[in-house]
Amino acid sequence: MTPKLPTSQDALLFTPGPLTTSLAVKQAMLHDAGSWHWEFNNLVAEVRQALLGLGGVSRESGWEAILMQGSGTFGVEAVFQSAIPPEGKVAVLSNGAYGERILLMLQQARIAHTVLRTAEDTPPTPEALDALLASDPAITHVAAVHCETTTGVLNPIETLGPVAKRHGKVYIVDAMSSFGGYPIDLEAAGIDFIISSANKCVESVPGFSFVLCRRKVLLATEGWARSLSLNLLDQLKGFEKNGQFRYTPPTHSILAFAQALKELEQEGGIAARAARYQANNAALIAAMRTIGLKSYLPPAVQSHIITSFVYPKDSAFVWTEFYRLVAEKGFLLYPGKISQADTFRIGNIGRLFEKDMRAVVNAIAETLREMGVKAA
């Protein structure tokens, strides 16, 4: 089979990651890199430094950036496998599938935990967290998801963190789909560990996740790790020893990510990228409203990362057929994941612009006509 060369004409991905990337990011992977070679190790060091800069922190202020092979889930699990002491207990704030996935990780690792669960369209409140922590002194860590892509709801990590700090708890934030697309003040939010992935708002390809953490908090985890390959502290020690990953690195993904970081800087940084995503989201919701499709979340809690839309009530609407017809027009959507309603999702992130949001809505409107579906 003849390999497919990079092109800017791939189908557009309206997903929360993997997502549409620039042609230059794709082309950056057309090279082989020696995982032990000094040039690659220098690039890894530059990427780690750049990530600290994106987080608004530095090594001088006591922070580290650690890359972990694998998807974002690997990065999240690495934190829980590494940073919870044998007698520790985690309070998980859950209002979607990714909060529930954290609970599964803790169950699998046999780590004590409790859950503050709210509805999928309802963020947790600082008051509820305060009450939970006051009632259970055994809790040592608090875990929250910033943007829960189950719905696209944005959780208030900036107001939850100070509550965790007031009670002396370590604060862990899954910012998988928000880091790089939302300005986050790690210090003001009291965050100790924040996790994201290469193939989200930095707009690169899958292959690794990364963790920004307070060095002092990480060093205190010595001897706690429940996993060999997901040992976050040992991964840091490996980088400090020789600049290398402990095990085979995702070389091509690192090359792509370095290019994506350059493009993020050229765009104007996180603030400029967030503004583009906000414009995408506003254009999408407005255009969908004109064809009779309504977003699931109220505006007050809707992120600009991904938006859930309620199925048309017309019985002629069948998701699988709808998806296929829209995909044939060059637009890939995302299925729903909500237990409370039938929805599908449209991502606003990646190398997408307002014109792309209007184009996908035009394709959706055409598809509904083809299916004989009345949206309103």
CATH of the domain at 272: 3.90.1150.10
Q: For 369, list phi and psi in degrees, rounded to 5.
A: -65, -45
Find out whether 185 and 212 touch, Cβ atoms under 8 Å: no
Domain with 75, as residue range(s), is 23-265
Q: Given 3-state DSSP classes, what are the helix, strand and coil percentages for the chain, each rounded to the nearest 5?
A: 40, 15, 40
Q: Do 219 and 104 share a structural domain?
A: yes
Tally of domains within the chain: 2
Query: Do 223 and 272 fall within a single domain?
Result: no
- Asked if residue 280 and residue 225 are part of one domain, the reply reads no
Confidence of residue 141 (pLDDT cuts 50, 70, 90): very high
pLDDT on residue 4: 53
H, E, C per residue of 351-375: CCCHHHHHHHHHHHHHHHHHHCCCC
pLDDT at 17 over 90: no
- One domain for residues 272 and 252: no
**Beta strand extents in the chain (DSSP E only):** 12-13, 63-69, 89-94, 112-117, 141-145, 147-148, 153-154, 170-174, 193-197, 208-214, 306-310, 331-332, 334-335, 343-347
Do 245 and 278 fall into the same domain? no
Distances (CA, A) of 50 to 8, 58, 230: 27, 10, 23
At 225, which amino acid appears? A
Shared domain for 125 and 143, answered yes or no, is yes
Using the 3D structure, point to which of 239, 265, 291 is the last residue of a domain.
Answer: 265
Domain CATH code at residue 54: 3.40.640.10
pTM of the full structure? 0.95
pLDDT surpassing 70 at residue 368? yes
CB-count exposure of residue 365 (10 Å: 0-12, 13-18, 19+): middle
Residue 274 and residue 259 share a domain: no
The predicted-structure confidence for 190-242, as pLDDT tens digits, reads as follows 999 999 999 999 999 999 999 999 999 999 999 999 999 999 999 999 999 99
Q: Domain boundary residue among 208, 238, 265? A: 265
DSSP output for 320-337: HHHHHHHHHTTEE-EE--
* pLDDT at residue 8 greater than cutoff 70: no
Residue type, 17: G
d(C-alpha 201, C-alpha 348), whole Å: 10
Short-list 361, 360, 351, 337, CA closest to 149: 337
In this structure, the answer to whether residues 90 and 175 fall within a common structural domain is yes
Whether residues 48 and 129 fall in one domain? yes
What pLDDT, on a 0 to 100 scale, did the predictor assign at position 40? 96
DSSP string, 88-105: -EEEEEESSHHHHHHHHH
pLDDT digits (tens, 9 = 90+) for 63-77: 999 999 999 999 999
- Determine, yes or no, domain membership for 99: yes
- Residue 376 is assigned to a structural domain of this protein: no
106 and 53 in a single domain? The answer is yes
Which pLDDT band holds residue 336 (cuts at 50, 70, 90)?
A: confident
- Position 339 scores a pLDDT of 72
End residue of a domain, out of 212, 244, 265:
265
